[in-house]
Chains A and B, each alone.
Chain A
Amino acid sequence: MRSDRSSTPLSLKIAAGAGLLFLHVPILLIFLYAFTTEEKSYQFPPPGLTLQWFAVTWNRPDVWEALLLSIKVASIATAIALVLGTLCAAAVSQTRFFGREVISLLVILPIALPGIITGIALRSAFSMADIPFSVWTIVLGHATFCVVVVYNNAVARFRRVSGSLIEASMDLGADGFQTFRHVILPNIGTALLAGGMLAFALSFDEVIVTTFTGGQQSTLPIWMLEELIRPRQRPVTNVVAMVVVLVTFLPILAAYYLTREGDQIAGAGK
């Protein structure tokens, strides 16, 4: 049942519009101040518009350092998550073993835990094990929640790949590796891509776990936090914020379309 357009009360329309504005206007304001000519205080409206901050940002080595570190961490964490998440999803969805439900719950738990808990837990674990804080401890911290995202995407798709497809492949002479390459991967490929992109985006703008697991390194979100406290050339932060929004928004959008298309493909076979 779909309610008629004219029957929606005006007050509801206004409330919905106000809600959306409340969510999105602050983001637009951040974009706006990336173009302001005045850098000391954010006065409204901006006295003038300029593109000079893009050039300034481009020439700041600390921005580049933070950006490259963020990309490195997100890429490695995503790669780890893709391997572990896929293996775990395969085990949980294709076989039956003692403790299967518990494992599937434990895998999902890190994303339900507040980041600060994950962060403190990992930090004390790293200290106890005498592991020095480095890029790799950040990667490990990020991998804990990236695995969940990949796992969730993969497990849903694995459940739709019927067991008899794998048996049919083996029956026709394909060994385990050939079956994975020719039957399993094409069927779960888009789910992995979507999961990987979501994982990358999550890692790219993560702050809390990074603060606890990082040493002297600062990823892009950490760099931004520091800039807010001790600003120099304030609008540079806004330019970086725009970049972060684009870098995380595009993969998430792509992931959304990929999984939607995947549903249609899988549905056509039924």
Chain B
Amino acid sequence: MTAAVLFQKVSRHFGNVRAVDGVDLSIAEGEFFAMLGPSGSGKTTCLRLMAGFEQPTDGHIEIFGETAEGVPPYRRNVNTVFQDYALFPHLSILDNVAYGLMVKGVGREERRKAAEDALAMVKLPGYGVRKPGQLSGGQRQRVALARALVNRPKVLLLDEPLGALDLKLREQMQEELKSLQKSLGITFVFVTHDQGEALSMADRIAVFNNGKIQQLGTPEDIYKRPQTRFVADFVGSSNVLSSATLAKLGISAGAASLRPEAIQIGTSWAELLTLSGTVVACSFLGAVNRITVDCDGQRIIISAPAAMPVPEQGANITLAFSRNDMHVMEQA
């Protein structure tokens, strides 16, 4: 099957800055693909390379089997939902949504109908007569989505589309985007710096750092089996155990990751590995307590259910965890 988006050794340099540096990736048709990374990691530049706003310095890009280098944005069957939504302030909501059809020469009546259907799809029926300035952030976000989807793109690109929304709205939009993507079957490529968002929505995630893909895999892969220290740290603040700590456990490896929620306090079964340490800090986070423990210079963070008794600061405690929850990393 042809990939929806294919990158072969793609680089984009701005002067001396290697914003994207030799990226290989292949996004399947109908996939919900997330590009996750801190700001400046190259994920947005990758999205702009797909949209055609940037041209690669080096490498090859294909969109549904067709070479994309040199093809301007307006000749690509790809649409973008912009971070600031970029709604046209001088046009009504209906004209905003119908814009893509208007420039393609679709008749007035037909494009009005299509735009109204698209607005209904994003749950804003009857909002067509308003101007963008009269809508809330969440509503503008839906209009931006409708404006892109009305063109029936083969790939929809979303640049941090939920970044400007408050938490509750964001969670609601996450579910809606996911179900919209399922029902339409369009390939979604999503850029975010929020690991929770990527984990909950994407079929596959590419974790970016310094213009390179650090790891590409399913959310479970990324979360449970981080391949690099950066991924372990960025995706859910894993503990990274040093080789000295691993030696105490009888394991010979450079580094290993261990999730905070995989560690128990005080229990000691034969099949579990144990470490002892001193409690350095405790903080209450609602559903869980976050306990920081010092084991001979190795900091370990534990996230314990709030129902469990909280150890005193300075107390010596035993940490227990299963070997299976530990993931030895290929590179430190």
The reply on B104 being an interface residue by CB < 8 A is: yes
Q: Among residues 4 to 55 in chain B, which have CB atoms less than 8 Å away from a CB atom of chain A?
A: 51-53
Q: Is the CB of A169 within 8 A of B99?
A: yes
The reply on B73 being an interface residue by CB < 8 A is: yes
Q: How far is the CB of A96 from chain B (nearest CB, A)?
A: 11
Number of A-B contacts (CB under 8 A): 73
Residue among A174, A186, A265 with the highest chain B CB neighbour number at 10 A: A174
* Stretch in B82-90, B109-117, B183-191, B208-216 touching the partner: B82-90
User: Which A residues are in CB contact (< 8 Å) with B307?
Assistant: none
The reply on B290 being an interface residue by CB < 8 A is: no
User: Which B residues are in CB contact (< 8 Å) with A164?
Assistant: 82-84, 86
Q: How far is the CB of A37 from chain B (nearest CB, A)?
A: 55
Secondary structure call for the A interface: helix
User: Which A residues are in CB contact (< 8 Å) with B102?
Assistant: 182
Q: For A168, give the chain B residue with the smallest CB separation.
A: B86
Q: Among residues 162 to 190 in chain A, which have CB atoms less than 8 Å away from a CB atom of chain B?
A: 162, 164-165, 167-175, 178, 182-183, 186-187
> Could you say which of B72, B88, B151 contacts A170, with CB atoms under 8 Å apart?
B72
The reply on A23 being an interface residue by CB < 8 A is: no
Q: Is the CB of B51 within 8 A of A171?
A: yes
User: Which A residues are in CB contact (< 8 Å) with B90?
Assistant: 186-187, 265
- Complex-state Cα separation, A173 to B150, whole angstroms: 12
The reply on B60 being an interface residue by CB < 8 A is: no
> Could you say which of A165, A182, A265 contacts B86, with CB atoms under 8 Å apart?
A165
The reply on B100 being an interface residue by CB < 8 A is: yes
Q: Is the CB of B103 within 8 A of A173?
A: yes
Q: How far is the CB of B68 from chain A (nearest CB, A)?
A: 14
User: Which B residues are in CB contact (< 8 Å) with A168?
Assistant: 80, 82, 86-88
> Could you say which of B53, B132, B151 contacts A269, with CB atoms under 8 Å apart?
B132
Q: How far is the CB of B238 from chain A (nearest CB, A)?
A: 36
- Complex-state Cα separation, A169 to B80, whole angstroms: 10
The reply on A268 being an interface residue by CB < 8 A is: yes
Q: Is the CB of B131 within 8 A of A173?
A: no
> Could you say which of A162, A171, A187, A270 contacts B80, with CB atoms under 8 Å apart?
A171
Q: Is the CB of B82 within 8 A of A170?
A: no
Q: Is the CB of B133 within 8 A of A172?
A: no
Q: Among residues 60 to 100 in chain B, which have CB atoms less than 8 Å away from a CB atom of chain A?
A: 72-74, 78-80, 82-84, 86-91, 99-100
Chain A 248-270, CB-CB to B under 8 Å as 1, else 0, gives 00000000000000000110111
Q: Is the CB of A170 within 8 A of B133?
A: no
* A170-B73 contact, Cβ under 8 Å, with A162-B84, A164-B82: yes
User: Which A residues are in CB contact (< 8 Å) with B88?
Assistant: 165, 168-169, 183
- Complex-state Cα separation, A173 to B111, whole angstroms: 15
Q: Is the CB of B151 within 8 A of A172?
A: yes
The reply on B147 being an interface residue by CB < 8 A is: yes
User: Which B residues are in CB contact (< 8 Å) with A266?
Assistant: 89
- Complex-state Cα separation, A269 to B84, whole angstroms: 12
Q: Is the CB of A172 within 8 A of B147?
A: yes
- Complex-state Cα separation, A173 to B73, whole angstroms: 7
Q: Is the CB of A173 within 8 A of B151?
A: yes
Q: Is the CB of B133 within 8 A of A268?
A: yes
Q: How far is the CB of B219 from chain A (nearest CB, A)?
A: 28
> Could you say which of B53, B99, B148 contacts A167, with CB atoms under 8 Å apart?
B53
Q: Is the CB of B133 within 8 A of A270?
A: yes
Q: For A174, give the chain B residue with the smallest CB separation.
A: B103
Residue among A165, A170, A268 with the highest chain B CB neighbour number at 10 A: A170
Q: For B48, give the chain A residue with the smallest CB separation.
A: A167
- Complex-state Cα separation, A171 to B131, whole angstroms: 21
- Complex-state Cα separation, A22 to B158, whole angstroms: 63
- Complex-state Cα separation, A167 to B52, whole angstroms: 10
Q: How far is the CB of A186 from chain B (nearest CB, A)?
A: 5
Q: Is the CB of A269 within 8 A of B73?
A: no
User: Which B residues are in CB contact (< 8 Å) with A162?
Assistant: 84, 86
- Complex-state Cα separation, A173 to B80, whole angstroms: 11
Q: Is the CB of B82 within 8 A of A172?
A: no
> Could you say which of A167, A171, A178, A265 contacts B89, with CB atoms under 8 Å apart?
A265
User: Which B residues are in CB contact (< 8 Å) with A171?
Assistant: 51, 53, 73-74, 78-80, 148
Chain A 182-213, CB-CB to B under 8 Å as 1, else 0, gives 11001100000000000000000000000000
User: Which B residues are in CB contact (< 8 Å) with A165?
Assistant: 86, 88
Given A167-B86, A182-B102, A269-B131, 10 extra CB contacts under 8 A: A168-B82, A169-B88, A170-B72, A170-B74, A172-B74, A173-B74, A173-B151, A186-B91, A187-B89, A270-B133
Q: What are 18 pairs between A and B in contact, CB < 8 Å?
A: A162-B84, A164-B82, A164-B84, A167-B80, A168-B80, A168-B82, A169-B103, A172-B148, A174-B74, A174-B99, A174-B103, A183-B88, A186-B90, A186-B91, A265-B89, A268-B89, A268-B131, A269-B133
10 nearest A-B pairs in the assembled complex, by CB-CB distance: A269-B89, A172-B100, A168-B86, A164-B86, A268-B133, A174-B103, A170-B73, A186-B90, A269-B133, A171-B80
